[in-house]
Structure 1
């Protein structure tokens, strides 16, 4: 007997989406607070350490986000399996197991790239002193990469299984761990050596380890999740399921590489323009990225909700889940854009001491860049959620091509041209980012609206 159809399906979908998106968005925001703690502590070491940390984090974040997107392809698979059958224990276990395999393989590749950090910095024309400090920082930071990617797989699993609050709680705990670690290892409290910049990397690695262990404990302690026996027979391959993950995940990783590559590349452009502009860019981007975590969480929820209806063959449910998520994401980003225009200085003060005259140039550039960030908030929210709803339909290849084109043809060309060859300098780099986001948002939204004609909802 089929379950009864809700009498008010739109209201039911809104409730289901918010119940899932709320904890995920909160976890994303809290994760940004974990990263913000690093910026707060390192900023107090001076402009050069902050510049080195900014460049290192740009490269490391690009790697971690890209590979998390690849292994995150397990989300639409789990959602579709749940939607198509009530008892999908074996299928879900196989998907998660292969995602963990991918996590380890990706981490090996990422660590090899991080090991060449200083050389990569020098190839992009960075100051040799900053490049040397960045390379030393990455040598420690890369130890956290396999832990982070594996933890992201487990976070995806608990969220898709209706336990997103685990992600929120564990991320909240990691804030305290990272703050304590920075306090101890950066400045040398409680008898620990004062490691300076490297101490922040040590703190990140410790936080990543405890985060992974917390997810394992949560899964083992929950009655519903424990029955999937995720950690049994981890050595057993499931080649077809691994192929499914690669088919869906590689385009996701390439999409993230296109977007994050441009944003990370913007940091390297800023490094060529000037140290103060790079520092201001880092602060402004932190504020924008903090706001982005909410629509990013909504997009993650949309992947699960759309994927569930897709697996069940419910086209009307697919439409409701997608439009609810898009409206919610756009509405939130309209609010954050208003805040960036109306109260830029209080937002910057969350990261740096605005009363310190030594930070005057940094603060001036940060507030200038935030005006542009306010303009692209709406586009950024739409493209994040639109990518999420399309992933729920396991549609990742064409969105990848859209991202590659928009970010690296008009976007990169505008950022490089306006940033390096006009008096706009750093402001020109940010205008290039705005152009790319507007194009991606428009094309992804068009593809979602034409999903029936394009045959995307055919299971």
Structure 2
């Protein structure tokens, strides 16, 4: 699926292979990331934002250790470089999803709702009502983040060091953006 996009970026052959495999392994964590997002919203809706903050903070050391293991090949694992970062991120998404499941299932006040005990029928009407609210928000977030991704894609004709430097600068800018956003 990513071949048509990556082939148009005129990447160096080794960068192309790393990007393709990174995205392939990262995609294994997309489903648990989406599930975690729903579970996080449930936790936040009960006013327990500190719980989601702790889960997110737990993801940092998990991702750090997994990156160390898979990028540099520690504890008997092969050194996979950038591809290992994709594996580490996917496994981190699975970990935070499982942690959220356990907290919601076992800890009060979440366990009192018993959301995993009953399977409800799918409702098109409820889905339609949620889409009325969610689609505009989703599009706003999509366009906000896709602008930054578009700049990266436009830079693809530059060499690897230039692109990596741009990514480092974008990460720093994102950090500066997230600090006031978090406070607000």
Could you tell me the TM-score, scaled by structure 2's length? 0.90
- Equivalent of residue 221 in structure 1, options 106, 114, 122: 106
**1:169 is the counterpart of 2:54:** yes
Q: Is the 8 A contact 1:118 1:134 kept in 2?
A: no
**Bigger Cα Rg:** 1
> Equivalent residue for 1:249?
134
Q: Is the 8 A contact 1:117 1:134 kept in 2?
A: no
What are the residue-to-residue correspondences of 1:268-279 with 2, within 5 Å? 268-279=153-164
Deviation at 1:211, TM superposition (A): 0.3
Q: Distance in 2 between matches of 1:125 and 1:258?
A: 24
Q: Distance in 1 between matches of 2:18 and 2:80?
A: 12
> Equivalent residue for 1:204?
89
- Equivalent of residue 262 in structure 1, options 147, 153, 167: 147
What are the residue-to-residue correspondences of 1:44-443 with 2, within 5 Å? 116-234=1-119, 236-298=121-183, 329=184
Q: Is the 8 A contact 2:105 2:116 kept in 1?
A: no
Q: Distance in 2 between matches of 1:123 and 1:247?
A: 35
Secondary structure of 1:223's counterpart equals coil
Q: Distance in 2 between matches of 1:119 and 1:133?
A: 15
Q: Distance in 1 between matches of 2:82 and 2:69?
A: 12
> Equivalent residue for 1:16?
none
Secondary structure of 1:191's counterpart equals coil
Deviation at 1:235, TM superposition (A): 5.1
Q: Distance in 2 between matches of 1:203 and 1:295?
A: 28
Residues 226 and 286 (structure 1), Cα distance of their counterparts in 2 relative to 1, 3 Å cut: same
Residues 206 and 181 (structure 1), Cα distance of their counterparts in 2 relative to 1, 3 Å cut: same
- For residues 388-438 of structure 1, give each alpha carbon's deviation from its aligned partner in whole angstroms, at most 9, with x where no partner exists: xxxxxxxxxxxxxxxxxxxxxxxxxxxxxxxxxxxxxxxxxxxxxxxxxxx
Q: Distance in 2 between matches of 1:242 and 1:283?
A: 39
Deviation at 1:241, TM superposition (A): 1.7
Residues 274 and 202 (structure 1), Cα distance of their counterparts in 2 relative to 1, 3 Å cut: closer
Count of aligned residue pairs for this structure pair: 184
Deviation at 1:219, TM superposition (A): 1.4
Residues 124 and 196 (structure 1), Cα distance of their counterparts in 2 relative to 1, 3 Å cut: closer
Residues 295 and 248 (structure 1), Cα distance of their counterparts in 2 relative to 1, 3 Å cut: farther
Q: Distance in 2 between matches of 1:280 and 1:202?
A: 23
Could you tell me the TM-score, scaled by structure 1's length? 0.38
Give the CA RMSD over aligned residues: 1.9
**Structure 1: runs of 5+ lacking an equivalent:** 1-115, 299-328, 330-459
Secondary structure of 1:162's counterpart equals coil
Residues 129 and 195 (structure 1), Cα distance of their counterparts in 2 relative to 1, 3 Å cut: closer
Deviation at 1:132, TM superposition (A): 2.8
**Structure 2: runs of 5+ lacking an equivalent:** none
